[in-house]
Structure 1
Amino acid sequence: MSQFDSIRPLYDAEANAAIRKIIDDSMLEAMMSFTFPTDTKEHWKDLMVHTHSLRDFQVNFIYPGIQKVLEKSSDGLSTGGFDQLESNTAYLFISNHRDIILDTSLLNAVLYENGLILTTSAIGDNLIQKQFLHTLSRLNRNFAIKRGLQGRALLESSKLASAYIKKSLLSENRSVWTAQREGRTKDGNDSTHRGVLKMLTLSDEGKNPFEYFEKIKVVPISISYEYDPTDVLKMPEWIAKSKDEKYIKGEHEDFLNLLRGIMGTKKRIHLQANGVLNKEIREISAMDLNQPDKLTKLAETIDHKIWTGYKLWPSNYIAHDLLYGNEEYVNFYTDAEKTAFEKRMLEKVNTKNEFLIKSFLSMYANPVNNQKVALNINSPSSQF
């Protein structure tokens, strides 16, 4: 028994047996019918039962599925910065987080196309409660982050995740993806939580955490969707917030978010690798600050990298102008694009609820404000 058995992906030696257990599952058949619409069930099943590694499963089945998702629900994916990364090198990718499945799947597709090491990626165990999804996530090299824990149980779980990440990066030369915060950003205001950075250092408890950060290669990733495919699904949480009530998820909410993220309209998508933070980490490490303040400084550095690397789309500029009642960015979008955005908003949001309208617009406008801050441009003094 490995200490990581409760959270780790499958080993290659376990892949084929796991595939055979789900080969007749209706959800897998639906996925493969979508991915290979002209193929016969017998053919893809035959290919699958002869698959014996996680990489082959990802490259031969997950990657074509992502290409089909892009074809059906987007206007294409653009990238930047990945040509500056080195092959056969493990990176810790810290990313803003918009979509449960697509963020990591798109990153791995880009890494594969650029000849770079694929990631093992963090996923909340609340998303993989169904046995099929649990097996599929392990085949797709996800490792589980346990949710809903408190006190000592949370600390021990965080230490386990930290040790697994360290082992992946430094012992297995395997890249790792983690979000900059727990859960997806609901308001478009991407910020790195110091607790995530603290978690990463727990496996070196008692040591200078920046010695660990200096050993690994930290790369902030910016992912930008022109249209957030799950924007409408954030309405119930916003309504609860407007009433100062605690939001409680519905029974199938995570699964609905997963499906909407995959198939919902996205228009254009951009993925930007914002360089390795070796120099910045060395500079922070040398500062005369206590360790919590150094982690805060690193979080701010990651934020600024993500904000500057974020691709601002017409939807962001339109939302900003509508939110603040001006035409500051009118040259960055067309009348047709503004009309389409307003139509999308009015179809999804109760126009009688001013709070919801502002929440919807802020979700798209906040990346504009954040980029202004990162580039030291005058911006509104506060965000909604």
Structure 2
Amino acid sequence: MSKFDEIRSFDDREVNEAVQSVVRHPMMKALMNFTFPDVDDEIWSDQLKDTFSIYDFQKNFISHTIRKILETSSQGLTTSGFENLDKNASYLFVSNHRDIVLDTSLLNLVLLEKDFVMTSSAIGDNLVQQNFLHILAKLNRNFLVQRGLSLREQLKSSQLMSEYIFQLLKSENRSVWIAQREGRTKDGNDATQQGVLKMLAMASNHTSIPDFFKNLKIVPLSISYEYDPTDVLKMPQLLAKQKDEVYVKAKDEDFTTMMSGVLGQKKRIHLHSGNVLHQELDDISANFDNKNKQLQAIAQIIDESIIQNYHLWPTNYIAYDLLNQTNQFSKNYTEKEKQLFERRLEMRINVDDEILKNGFLSMYANPVVNKMKLVSQSF
């Protein structure tokens, strides 16, 4: 028994039994038939039964699934910045969050193909309520973020997760992916929640916050999709927020969103690995002695890296120009690209609803706005 049993992923010694328990599940069959459409069920089934480690499961099966997703629903994945990382080191990737499944899956595919240490990744336990999804998540080295807890339970859970992440990074040399905020960004404004950093810092004991974070080797990760396959699904929650209403999710909404993210059209995708936070943390240590101000400064550095390295697509520039009724960025897209985006807009929402239309356009335009703000602040 381990104190982390409630949240941890599988150990390798548990993998084969877990695989055997789901190999005949209809969802596993659907997943494998999608991944290997020309392979007899008996072949992939036998190979699954001979799987005894998470690495083998990810390498021999899930990596092929992600490649198939890219092949069928995107125009390719590009990367930058990973050449600056040490292949044998573990890192804490603090990432903007756009898609439930793909953000971390794409990162792990990149790490696998570049021969880096793959990540353990945080996932909300609300997303894996079905037993099959829970097992699949643990087979992909996901650990659970417990949701819907009382304040006291939340504090205890955060302490546990902080210690688990620290153990993964420092004792197991295992990289970790965590979103910069709770839940996906719905409006295109990527901002680090201080609460995430406070949770991470709970394992610091008597070490100063900047020194502790330096030890974690934080890497800000920027993920950008040319088309957000779940853009229209984010609208109801955005509208509720604008109206200051409590948003209540529909039954199976999370599962629908996951499937839409996986199968929906994304066009081009780019992942940029920022530089490891190091000197910046020394500067924070020298300039701030208040813990909250230190956390605020660290969040700002992560935000600046993610925004600066976020790859802007034609869709972002088109949305900005449409929203502001300008041609300011017309050199960054073609007329055909603009027509295609406008067609997507018309097909996905009621364009006569100004609030809905502006919300949809803002989702794509805000990364441009935020990068412009960042540039203006640097002068």
TM-score, normalising length: structure 1: 0.97
Q: What secondary structure sits across from 1:63 in the alignment?
A: helix
* Residue equivalent to 1:93: 93
Q: What secondary structure sits across from 1:286 in the alignment?
A: helix
Q: What secondary structure sits across from 2:287 in the alignment?
A: coil
Shift of 1:211: 2.4
Q: For the Cα contact (< 8 Å) 2:194–2:296, is it kept in 1?
A: yes
Correspondences of 1:134-213 after superposition (within 5 Å):
134-213=134-213
Deviation track 1:61-83 (CA, whole Å, cap 9, x = no partner) reads 10000000000000000000111
Q: Distance in 2 between matches of 1:93 and 1:267?
A: 24
Q: Distance in 2 between matches of 1:83 and 1:374?
A: 25
Cα RMSD (Å): 1.3
Q: For the Cα contact (< 8 Å) 1:242–1:355, is it kept in 2?
A: no
Q: Distance in 2 between matches of 1:215 and 1:47?
A: 39
Q: What secondary structure sits across from 2:268 in the alignment?
A: strand
Q: What secondary structure sits across from 1:161 in the alignment?
A: helix
* Residue equivalent to 1:381: none
Q: For the Cα contact (< 8 Å) 2:75–2:267, is it kept in 1?
A: yes
* Residue equivalent to 2:52: 52
Q: Which runs of 5+ in 2 are unaligned?
A: none
Amino acid at match of 2:298: L
* Residue equivalent to 1:36: 36
Once the two structures are overlaid, the 10-residue window that deviates more, 276-285 or 31-40, is 276-285
Q: What secondary structure sits across from 2:185 in the alignment?
A: coil
Q: For the Cα contact (< 8 Å) 2:209–2:294, is it kept in 1?
A: no
Q: Distance in 2 between matches of 1:241 and 1:217?
A: 35
Q: For the Cα contact (< 8 Å) 1:73–1:265, is it kept in 2?
A: yes
Identity %: 52
* Residue equivalent to 1:382: none
Q: For the Cα contact (< 8 Å) 2:81–2:274, is it kept in 1?
A: yes
Matched, 1:246 2:257: no
Q: Distance in 2 between matches of 1:77 and 1:377?
A: 31
Amino acid at match of 1:336: K
Q: Distance in 2 between matches of 1:293 and 1:363?
A: 29
Q: For the Cα contact (< 8 Å) 1:320–1:361, is it kept in 2?
A: yes
Q: Distance in 2 between matches of 1:94 and 1:229?
A: 22
Amino acid at match of 1:312: L
Amino acid at match of 1:301: I
* Residue equivalent to 2:361: 361
Correspondences of 1:269-284 after superposition (within 5 Å):
269-284=269-284
Amino acid at match of 2:25: D
Q: Distance in 2 between matches of 1:41 and 1:293?
A: 56
Deviation track 1:330-376 (CA, whole Å, cap 9, x = no partner) reads 00000000000000011111122111111000000000011112222
Matched, 1:258 2:234: no
Q: Say how many residue pairs are matched.
A: 379
TM-score, normalising length: structure 2: 0.98
Q: For the Cα contact (< 8 Å) 1:83–1:114, is it kept in 2?
A: no
Q: For the Cα contact (< 8 Å) 1:93–1:221, is it kept in 2?
A: yes
Q: Distance in 2 between matches of 1:238 and 1:214?
A: 35
Matched, 1:224 2:218: no
Q: Which runs of 5+ in 1 are unaligned?
A: 379-384
Shift of 1:7: 0.3
Amino acid at match of 1:181: R
* Residue equivalent to 1:16: 16
Q: What secondary structure sits across from 2:143 in the alignment?
A: strand
Deviation track 1:144-189 (CA, whole Å, cap 9, x = no partner) reads 0001113110000000000000000011100000000000000000
Correspondences of 1:95-110 after superposition (within 5 Å):
95-110=95-110
Q: What secondary structure sits across from 2:58 in the alignment?
A: helix
Q: Distance in 1 between matches of 2:288 and 2:104?
A: 36
Shift of 1:239: 3.1
Shift of 1:208: 2.1
